[in-house]
């Protein structure tokens, strides 16, 4: 009897820990302020990393000629003239990898002017899934603890 109570307490405690222990940096939505420069035929930086739910503010500039920014999956498009700054702001609500590419024909290698936005998973979802698994495992262990008794 006592062993069963201990199982229940341990399982509940584990669920609480997984659900509530803060993981700084990952838990809270952040605002990323990114300066993205473009010139033939690349973006600097070429890869942006955020997490789902984060707000992304991009100050988009061009160093040589007019360049564009088209973000696949999010359908965001803009262009900027050299010397100017275009602000792009959005919430990264879709997880996954998305390419962004130049939408202005800027030269012979223009089709290869591609960057990547990586939107990492929402950790709240992972926590919920982990909590559920612990709950299921705990329930199975609890039920299994009755197994021997029924035959006695
Ligand atoms: Cu281009």
Cβ contacts of residue 16 below 8 Å, gap of 6+? Answer: none
Give distance in angstroms: CA of 6 to centre of ligand 1: 64
Give distance in angstroms: CA of 132 to centre of ligand 1: 48
Give distance in angstroms: CA of 99 to centre of ligand 1: 14
In terms of DSSP H, where are the helices of the chain? 2-20, 123-144, 147-150
User: Residue 150: its pLDDT value, please?
Assistant: 61
- Using pLDDT thresholds of 50, 70 and 90, give the confidence band for residue 16: confident
User: Does residue 39 carry a pLDDT above 60?
Assistant: yes
Give distance in angstroms: CA of 66 to centre of ligand 1: 8
How many other β-carbons are positioned within 10 Å of the β-carbon of residue 119?
Answer: 22
Which residue in 110, 114, 107, 104 sits closest to 81, CA to CA? 104
Give distance in angstroms: CA of 117 to centre of ligand 1: 18
22-28: long-range pairs with CB below 8 Å, 24+: 23/123, 26/51, 26/123, 27/123, 27/124
d(C-alpha 110, C-alpha 121), whole Å: 31
- Using pLDDT thresholds of 50, 70 and 90, give the confidence band for residue 152: low
Query: Please, what is the average pLDDT of the chain?
Result: 89
pTM confidence score = 0.70
Domains and CATH numbers, the chain: 4-22+128-150 (no CATH), 29-122 (2.60.40.420)
93-119 confidence digits (pLDDT tens): 999 999 999 999 999 999 999 999 999
Q: Which of 3-12, 13-22, 63-72 has the highest mean pLDDT?
A: 63-72
- What are the DSSP calls for 87-101, one per residue? EEEEE--S-EEEEEE
Give distance in angstroms: CA of 14 to centre of ligand 1: 52
Pairing of β 55-62 and β 31-39:
parallel
Query: Residues with beta carbon < 5 A to ion ligand 1?
Result: 102, 104, 106, 110, 113
How many other β-carbons are positioned within 10 Å of the β-carbon of residue 86?
Answer: 17
User: Does residue 25 carry a pLDDT above 60?
Assistant: no
User: Does residue 121 carry a pLDDT above 90?
Assistant: no
d(C-alpha 85, C-alpha 37), whole Å: 9
Give distance in angstroms: CA of 94 to centre of ligand 1: 25
Q: Is residue 13 exposed (0-12), middle (13-18) or buried (19+ Cβ within 10 Å)?
A: exposed
**Is 7 or 97 the better-scoring residue by pLDDT?**
97
User: Residue 24: its pLDDT value, please?
Assistant: 58
């Amino acid at each position: 009897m006592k062993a069963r109570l201990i199982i229940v307490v341990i399982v509940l405690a584990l669920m609480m820990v997984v659900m509530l222990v803060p993981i700084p940096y990952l838990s809270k939505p952040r605002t990323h302020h990114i300066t993205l420069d473009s010139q033939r035929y690349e973006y600097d930086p070429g890869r942006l990393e955020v997490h789902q739910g984060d707000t992304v503010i991009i100050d988009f500039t061009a160093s040589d000629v007019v360049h564009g920014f088209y973000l696949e999956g999010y359908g965001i498009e803009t262009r900027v003239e050299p010397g100017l700054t275009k602000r792009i702001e959005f919430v990264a609500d879709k997880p996954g990898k998305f390419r962004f590419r130049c939408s202005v024909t800027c030269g012979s290698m223009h089709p290869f002017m591609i960057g990547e936005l990586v939107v990492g998973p929402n950790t709240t979802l992972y926590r919920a899934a982990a909590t559920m698994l612990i709950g299921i495992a705990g329930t199975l262990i609890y039920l299994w603890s009755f197994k021997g008794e029924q035959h006695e």
